[in-house]
Amino acid sequence: DTAVSQTPKYLVTQMGNDKSIKCEQNLGHDTMYWYKQDSKKFLKIMFSYNNKELIINETVPNRFSPKSPDKAHLNLHINSLELGDSAVYFCASSLGTGSSYEQYFGPGTRLTVT
Amino acid sequence: GNSVTQMEGPVTLSEEAFLTINCTYTATGYPSLFWYVQYPGEGLQLLLKATKADDKGSNKGFEATYRKETTSFHLEKGSVQVSDSAVYFCALSGGSGGSNYKLTFGKGTLLTVNP
């Protein structure tokens, strides 16, 4: 009965490759997010979707392309991977876009680019 | 825009010690305030929240009070346990200085509790 799940949990790949991370939530939430956590644990939002529409795009390089096929899924595709993309990527969801709504986080995907 | 400043770690305490992790914020209007916890190898979990001034959030023995006059939301626990060892993040959303639903996080504070 996992609320927010991500696959894969670990991803090791070489520079220049293209990879995808998948996220699914079974909470019936309308809003989903992608966050990046760097090696110093700093968390920064990348994207947010509400009802499959992009509502936040935080000046992320256009090598990163999110896709939301339906409200329960938000995938992240990364082209031409670079060393600096190594991080932990977290997916999250919330009931809606109100400021008081709690966000539920997935377990994270640790991406290592060599 | 919105920002959150929390005390730098790491913080190391003995079991049953008193914990305070300071958090102050910059935002206009009335943001909602949160503390999230990240246990080793896991995602973030909401620990507590407060959505208006003078609200006190509490959970698992942790407390934090939304102080608008000092723009603070300090996390406290009277007696920590080894199982409280984790990274703690202060965060806010809303207010009139940023997107209503975007969470802005502090840099996190690593807490280690020794037996």
Interface of chain B toward chain A, CB-CB under 8 angstroms = 31-32, 34, 36, 38, 42-46, 49, 51, 87, 89, 93-95, 99-103, 105, 107-108, 110
Upper half-sphere CA count for residue B19 (Cβ side, 13 Å): 31
Of B43, B100, B108, the CB nearest to A105: B43
Shortest alpha-carbon distance between residue A17 and chain B (Å): 26
Of A33, A42, A97, the CB nearest to B100: A97
Upper half-sphere CA count for residue B85 (Cβ side, 13 Å): 12
What pLDDT, on a 0 to 100 scale, did the predictor assign at position A110? 96
Distances (CA, A) of B91 to A84, B75, B96, B114: 25, 12, 15, 26
Q: Would the pLDDT of B101 be above 90?
A: no
Shortest alpha-carbon distance between residue B16 and chain A (Å): 26
Q: What is the pLDDT of residues B48-87, one digit of tens each?
A: 999 999 999 999 999 999 999 999 999 999 999 999 999 9
What pLDDT, on a 0 to 100 scale, did the predictor assign at position A35? 95
Distances (CA, A) of A109 to A22, A71, A85, B47, B91: 9, 20, 12, 22, 21
Q: How many CB pairs under 8 A join A and B?
A: 65
Q: What does the alpha-carbon distance between residue A106 and residue A91 come to, in Å, rounded to a whole number?
A: 5
Q: What is the pLDDT of residues B4-60, one digit of tens each?
A: 999 888 999 999 999 999 999 998 888 999 999 999 888 999 999 999 999 999 999
Q: What does the alpha-carbon distance between residue A13 and residue A83 come to, in Å, rounded to a whole number?
A: 10
pLDDT bucket at A99, cuts 50 / 70 / 90: confident
Q: What does the alpha-carbon distance between residue A106 and residue A93 come to, in Å, rounded to a whole number?
A: 9
Sign of CA dihedral A97, A98, A103, A109: positive
